[in-house]
């Protein structure tokens, strides 16, 4: 006898305590797995949205650079603002080919309209279709429009 408890009573007491300290139940494990899988699905959908948004942002940056490039070309040859399509310095056809090569279904357009006797409004439009998995067709058409007075 140790401290008033027999050896057999001590073993029985230890077995009772071990039963109370058993591991997780199957239901607890299933609930935690369900919560974990929902969290992983949310993270995966955020990752897909992030990739799609980055793709649109990259195309938008390219379109802005191309539109600004055409405005810079027209600024470099101010005497041919009204006749920009025939100017070899401005090279409208080369710019439109550059737009088509750098953006999916890319189109570039330039419009010049007189504002006053000595100034013209130049409007450069770059449009493209974003090739992504978005099911909404309205989200596929994009355009950048830059306007300046010369």
Within-domain flag for 2: no
Within-domain flag for 20: yes
Please say whether the beta carbons of 108 and 126 come within 8 A. yes
What residues make up the domain containing 60? 7-149
Q: How many domains does the chain have?
A: 1
Provide mean pLDDT across the span 115-124.
88
Within-domain flag for 1: no
Provide the β-strand partners of residue 123: 111, 147
Q: Report whether pLDDT(28) > 70.
A: yes
Coil, helix or strand at residue 5: strand
Rounded to two decimals, the pTM is: 0.69
Coil, helix or strand at residue 27: helix
Q: Could you tell me the pLDDT band of residue 98, with boundaries at 50, 70 and 90?
A: very high
Mean pLDDT is lowest, of 27-31, 47-51, 68-72, 128-132, for 128-132
End-to-end CA distance of the chain: 107
Q: What is the pLDDT of residues 61-88, one digit of tens each?
A: 999 999 999 999 888 887 888 887 777 7
Residue 33 CA, distance from chain mean position: 31
C-alpha 134/C-alpha 139 separation (Å) is 7
Within-domain flag for 133: yes
Within-domain flag for 114: yes
């Amino acid at each position: 006898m140790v401290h008033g408890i027999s050896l057999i009573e001590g073993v029985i007491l230890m077995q009772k305590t071990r039963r109370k300290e058993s591991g997780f139940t199957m239901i607890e494990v299933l609930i935690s797995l369900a919560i974990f899988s929902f969290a992983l699905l949310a993270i995966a959908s955020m990752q897909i949205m992030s990739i799609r948004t980055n793709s649109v942002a990259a195309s938008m940056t390219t379109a802005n650079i191309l539109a600004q490039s055409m405005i810079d070309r027209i600024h470099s040859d101010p005497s041919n603002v009204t006749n920009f399509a025939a100017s070899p310095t401005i090279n409208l056809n080369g710019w439109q080919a550059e737009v088509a090569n750098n953006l999916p279904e890319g189109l570039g357009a330039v419009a010049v309209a007189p504002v006053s006797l000595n100034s013209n409004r130049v409007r450069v439009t770059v449009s493209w279709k974003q090739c992504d998995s978005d099911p909404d067709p309205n989200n596929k058409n994009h355009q950048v429009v830059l306007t300046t007075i010369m």
